[in-house]
Amino acid sequence: AVWTKMSSATPSPEARSGHGLAYDSLRKVVVLFGGTGKAAALGDTWEWDGVSWRQVTPATTSPTPRIVEKLVYDSHRRRTVMYGGYSFKQLNETWEYDGTDWVLVSTRNRPPFRHGFDVAFDAGRGRTVRFGGDVGGDETWEYWGTPCHMAADVGTISITAGGTQTLSLDTGSVFANKPYWIFGSITGTSPGITLNGIDIPLNVDVYTQLAMQNVTANPPYKGFRSALDAKGAATAQFILPANALSAGFSLYHAYIVFDASGRFYGASNPVTLKLQ
């Protein structure tokens, strides 16, 4: 209804334009990065909590100064994602900020450099959508963060004949040789569960417990808990014997990547198996 001009209780960022802003709904702060000030492009990170500004000193690294970058908040993975920017050269990069540090993300492919594009986070599917920009920006791109991806060779299995769904896990070299664990659900993917700050798109139910307790059994599980190879890839199988289950429902699987100290690095998209 109305605008209210606010006065910060602490020093504010330098006046600027061409900066990026995103709202971190978990920590309830607006994140600001970069832009151009009086003299040159800026590379500072600030947070606004509704009362005061606070300049952040990242723990280990920070993006180089830039203008016309775009920020968006990924509420599934609790990261502010930054795309692109310009500072004497085109910065066709993806960075992520967790409230403590910035991390440069190495992706398998990337959109062409453009400025003037727009981004939004699709919370229903857990993906950032990017569209447009100057110089032929008529493309749509999606980004789902830490590259924990899973695909399946089949989506349905006949309970009468039985069959196998082969799951292909792929994280890229970023998680090479790290352990993974595939979880399951029969009640769906939303609202899902959160473990150690990582959102996993599976609901907890009796099948989740069954899968966790029997990941080394065969059948139905093969390779549901193991380690990724040197390329960050692995293969697992769900093997359904004939007449083992009833028809008319679906199984959902997704995996997490972790390490020996119990730190969780990311979770994959869900894969569905329909029993008919």
Q: What is the pLDDT of residues 214-244, one digit of tens each?
A: 887 778 999 999 999 988 899 999 999 888 7
What backbone torsions phi and psi does residue 37 show, to the nearest 5 degrees?
Answer: -100, -145
pTM of the model: 0.59
pLDDT at 171 exceeding the cut of 90: no
Burial 94-121 (b: 16+ CB within 10 A, else e): bbbbbeeebbebeeeeebebbbebebeb
Sheet containing 163-170: give its strands across.
149-152, 163-170, 233-240, 221-222
> What pLDDT is recorded for position 263?
79
> What pLDDT is recorded for position 146?
66
